[in-house]
Amino acid sequence: MMASLSVQTLFVLLVFVTASYCMIEEASAVEGQREFDYFALSLQWPGTYCRHTRHCCSKNACCRGANAPTEFTIHGLWPDYNDGTWPACCTQSDFNEKEISTLHDALEKYWPSLSCGSPSSCRGTKGSFWAHEWEKHGTCSSPVVHDEYSYFSTTLNVYFKYNVTVSGQEFCDD
C-alpha cells in the first residue's frame, strides 16, 4: 500500500509541476496585488481522504457508496508566485453558485467536496468548498480568468488536459 501511495503522490507532483509551468500567464495585477507567475493545479486522492471519514452527509462525495470518486479529483487552481508564496482573498467578490449552474454535474464528479464541514470564506463566514476556492484563489486569478464561470471551467479544462488517472500506456505510445 505504501508503494501505491508513493506513486499517487508522484503523479500529483508531476501534474502540479506540469500544470504550473504549462499555465504560465502574463498577468497584470488586481488593484493592490502583485502579478502572479503561474497557476498550480492542486489535486487530491479521495481514497486516502475518504478512508478517514467518520461522518457522512449528503454533500460528502466520500459517502456516495459505489459512486464515490475513484480517481484524483480537483482541490483547486491556485495562482502562485515563483518565490513560493501566493495571493489569497484578492477581492470582496461573493460566491454565487448560480453563475456555475451549467457546470454543476462536472464539478460534482471532478471537483467534489470530500468533507461534511463548511470551510471558511475569506471574511470568516462558512460556505461550500467551491465558495472557499473561488473566494480564496479564484478572485486572485484576474486577468487570466475574470469571473466564477471562467475560473471553474478553466480549472476543469486544465484537469482534463493533465489528467493523471489516464493509464501510463497512453503516454508511451509513439
**Interaxial angle between packed helices 129-136 and 148-161, expressed in degrees from 0 to 180 and rounded to the nearest 10:** 100
The catalytic residue among 132, 135, 137, 148 is 137
Q: Is 133 a catalytic residue?
A: yes
Q: Is 137 a catalytic residue?
A: yes
Sequence letter at residue 160:
F
| In the chain, domain spans | 17-166
pTM of the model: 0.76
d(CA 69, CA 114): 9
Q: Is 132 a catalytic residue?
A: no
Q: pLDDT, tens digit, for every residue of 111-132?
A: 999 988 878 778 887 889 999 9
pLDDT the model gives residue 53: 80
d(CA 49, CA 71): 12
pLDDT the model gives residue 26: 36
The catalytic residue among 75, 132, 135, 148 is 75
Name the CATH code of domain 17-166 (choices 3.30.43.10, 3.10.580.10, 1.20.1330.10, 3.90.730.10): 3.90.730.10
For the chain, residues with pLDDT lower than 50 are 1-30, 167-174
d(CA 164, CA 10): 10
pLDDT the model gives residue 15: 45
